[in-house]
Amino acid sequence: MKDSQHQFQVSINEVGILVVGYNRPELLEKRLLELKNCGAINLYVSIDGGSESHTRKMEELKEFANRLFDNIQIQHHKENLGLVKHITSEITRVLAIHKYIIVVEDDIKISNKFYINVINGLTQLNKNNVNGVVSGYSPIFRRKFHNYWRKTHVCYFWGWACSQETWKFYDYNLINKSLDQGLSKSKAWTKLNSYQKKFWLSRFQSVQSNPLSTWDYQFIYISFVNNFTNLAPIFSITGNEGFNDPRSVHNQGIKPKNIKNDHLNEGDLKKIVKNSRLFGIIDMDHYFQGLKIKIKIESKKLFKRQPLQYP
Residue 259 binned pLDDT confidence (cut-offs 50, 70, 90): low
Q: Does the residue 285 lie in any domain?
A: no
Angle at 103 between CA 102 and CA 106, to 5 degrees: 140
Domains held by the chain: number? 1
Percentage of the chain beyond pLDDT 90 is 67
- Rounded mean pLDDT of 66-86? 96
Q: Does the residue 218 lie in any domain?
A: no
Contact call for residues 138 and 261 (beta carbons, < 8 A)? no
Indicate if the pLDDT at residue 308 is higher than 50.
no
Q: Does the residue 133 lie in any domain?
A: yes
Of 129, 137, 157, 291, the residue nearest 222 (C-alpha): 157
Could you tell me which residues are beta bridge partners of residue 295? Answer: 310
Q: Does the residue 268 lie in any domain?
A: yes
- Rounded mean pLDDT of 236-245? 80
* 98-112, 136-150, 242-256, 293-307: the lowest-pLDDT one: 293-307
Q: Does the residue 208 lie in any domain?
A: no
Q: Are strands 43-47 and 15-21 parallel, antiparallel or unpaired?
A: parallel
Residue 63 binned pLDDT confidence (cut-offs 50, 70, 90): very high
Q: What are 137-169's pLDDT values in tens digits?
A: 988 888 888 899 999 888 899 999 999 999 999
Q: Does the residue 245 lie in any domain?
A: yes
* 81-95, 104-118, 137-151, 222-236: the lowest-pLDDT one: 137-151
Give the list of residues 6+ apart from residue 9 with CB closer than 8 angstroms, or none: 123, 126
Q: What is the pLDDT of residue 278?
A: 56
Residues 43, 227: Cα–Cα separation, whole Å: 30
Q: Does the residue 117 lie in any domain?
A: yes
Q: What is the pLDDT of residue 4?
A: 56
Give the list of residues 6+ apart from residue 6 with CB closer than 8 angstroms, or none: none
Give the structural domain span for 156. 2-169+226-276
Helix, strand, coil percentages (3-state) for the chain, rounded to 5, are 35, 15, 45
Q: What are 19-43's pLDDT values in tens digits?
A: 999 999 999 999 999 999 999 999 9
DSSP string, 138-164: -S---SSS---EEEESS---SSEEEEH
Q: In CATH, what number is assigned to the domain containing residue 89?
A: 3.90.550.10
Indicate if the pLDDT at residue 296 is higher than 70.
no
- H-helix or E-strand containing 104? strand 100-105
User: What one-letter code names the amino acid at 239?
Assistant: G
Q: What is the pLDDT of residue 248?
A: 59
